[in-house]
Amino acid sequence: MLLHPIVLPTIGVILYFLMIPHSIESEQRFFIIGFVFTTTYLVPLAVLMLLKGLKLIQSFKMHTIKERKIPLFLMILLFTVLGNILLRTAIFRDFGMLFYGTSFGLIIIYLFSIFNIKMSLHLLSMGSMVGFFIMMGMEYMTPLAPILLILILFSGLLASSRLHLKAHTTKEVYLGFFFGIMTQTAVYYLL
Angle, nearest 10°, between helix axes 65-87 and 93-114?
160
Domain boundaries, the chain: 8-13+20-190
pLDDT of residue 50: 92
CB count in 10 Å sphere of residue 128: 31
Taking only the tens place, the pLDDT of each residue in 180-189 is 999 999 999 9
Taking only the tens place, the pLDDT of each residue in 25-64 is 999 999 999 999 999 999 999 998 998 898 888 877 777 7
Mean of pLDDT values over 108-121: 93
Concatenate the DSSP letters of all residues of 30-89 into one string. Answer: HHHHHHHHIIIIIHHHHHHHHHHHTTS-SSTT--SHHHHHHHHHHHHHHHHHHHHHHHTS
Range among 2-11, 56-65, 132-141 with highest mean pLDDT value: 132-141
At residue 152 the predicted structure's pLDDT band, cuts being 50, 70 and 90, is very high
Whether the per-residue pLDDT at 120 is higher than 90: the answer is yes
d(CA 147, CA 171): 26
Calculate the average pLDDT of the chain. 92
pLDDT of residue 1: 65
What radius of gyration do the chain's Cα atoms show? Answer: 16
Taking only the tens place, the pLDDT of each residue in 53-95 is 988 888 777 777 888 888 999 999 999 999 999 999 889 999 9
Length of the chain: 191
* 60/166: higher pLDDT: 166
CB count in 10 Å sphere of residue 165: 9
Dihedral of CA 56/34/85/184: which sign?
Answer: negative
pLDDT of residue 21: 87
φ and ψ at 137, to 5 degrees? -60, -40
Task: For the chain, give the percent of residues with pLDDT over 70.
Answer: 99
Mean of pLDDT values over 102-128: 94
d(CA 9, CA 95): 10
Nearest to 98 by CA among 1, 16, 4: 16
Task: For the chain, give the percent of residues with pLDDT over 90.
Answer: 77
pLDDT of residue 158: 95
